[in-house]
Amino acid sequence: MHLTELILQQMSSVEKPQRKFMSILLTTLTYLPGRMNFRNLGRYSSLNEKTFSRWFRRSFDFVTFHFLQATEEIHGELLSHSTYFKSLKSSRRASMLEAIERQSYKIHCEHLTFYGIDYLKSFSELDEYAVETADGHFIDHQNSHSRRPEKNLYAYDKAVTNFPWWTKQKGHQNYMISVLKENSVATWVESIAIDGSNPINTGIEGYSIYENQGVKFNVVHYRDPETQKQYRFVTTLPKLMSPGIIAILYYKCWTIQKAYNNSKSNLKEKKAWSSSIKSLSNQMRPTAMTYNLMRVCEEISKIQKPTRIPSIG
């Protein structure tokens, strides 16, 4: 049986007459010469042009059709309509969503690369690091369940700063960047030289080593050239890392952290569907794909028409 017919049979909203029409229509479109109009469709198929005109007035769920088609092409297995929309804890659904998410991630990366959008490419000092944003539970889980050879750099929430834990993470090649709390108590140890001739260090007013609870870390004093607001960034990175890169990295990683707020505010995902891991995974994968698509559109629009689309971050 033709793939199109198999997919149409999975759609409970499509009755047999419309299923037959859509099968003929999609088949005809593959070899239709010239313009696509009712007359040509009737000329090169078994249906009359009036039949095409009548069926074109009816609605068709192309979103579901393309989703089912994509799952078959990417994962190599048909997914029933009821399984996708009704089963929260389905292992089959989880594996298919994972395959689709990976495919969409690859496509988004290709689009960004095509337009030359790569915020880390110009910073050769970061080539040996995998830059992410995560919480302590995720990082501890990664430490115990995977052996990643590369160094990892995390933008960390200042609300849960834990210097002894940060030092322990350096043993796993995990390094942190965060904002130093206003009420943080730390002792100045020594200053670190700044390359003032490097444009990346614009706005840097100080770079020093501090100590708290016997733990040493680096603090960057940065003043935003536009707003004149001062920030203090704290990191466990080696002191050879340019302080300007640390400031830029935290700003960029903050847009990733804002994604959690976007999923609640913009995408209205305020409650978990279930407490099971598979259900949460099935819920968040489409949410992540939707957010990534929004972000790609925003980044590309900044290049093509920067004044037309507002920021989502």
pLDDT digits (tens, 9 = 90+) for 219-246: 999 998 888 888 899 998 988 889 998 8
pLDDT of residue 191: 92
Same domain as 273, residue 183 = no
Long-range contacts of 294-297 (CB under 8 A, 24+ apart): 294/262, 294/266, 295/259, 296/108, 296/111, 296/112
Residue 211 maps to a domain: yes
Same domain as 246, residue 155 = yes
Same domain as 232, residue 153 = yes
pLDDT of residue 190: 93
Residue 213 maps to a domain: yes
Residue 126 maps to a domain: no
Residue 58 maps to a domain: yes
For strand 215-223 and strand 151-155, is the pairing parallel, antiparallel, or unpaired? unpaired
Domain ranges, residue 9: 3-75
* Count of structural domains, the chain: 3
pLDDT of residue 82: 44
Q: What is the DSSP letter of 305?
A: -
Residue 157 maps to a domain: yes
Residue 80 maps to a domain: no
Same domain as 194, residue 171 = yes
Same domain as 184, residue 250 = yes
Same domain as 172, residue 246 = yes
Same domain as 191, residue 111 = no
Question: Residues 101-118: pLDDT tens digits?
Answer: 888 888 888 888 888 887
pLDDT of residue 81: 46
The DSSP bridge partners found for residue 220 are: 207, 233
For the chain, the first-to-last Cα distance in angstroms comes to 46
Same domain as 179, residue 281 = no
Question: How many Cβ atoms sit within 10 Å of the Cβ of residue 84?
Answer: 20
Same domain as 271, residue 251 = no
Same domain as 20, residue 70 = yes
Q: pTM of whole model > 0.75?
A: no
Quick check: helix, strand or coil at residue 299? helix
Same domain as 248, residue 280 = no
Using H for helix, E for strand and C for coil, what is the string for 43-88?
HCCCCCHHHHHHHCCCCCCHHHHHHHHHHHHHHCCCCCHHHHHHCC
With a cut of 50, which residues of the chain have pLDDT below it? 1, 80-86
Question: Please, what is the average pLDDT of the chain?
Answer: 78
Residue 220 maps to a domain: yes
Same domain as 102, residue 37 = no
- Evaluated on CA atoms 155, 276, 106, 60, the torsion sign reads negative
Q: How far apart are CA 162 and CA 164, in angstroms?
A: 6
Residue 285 maps to a domain: yes
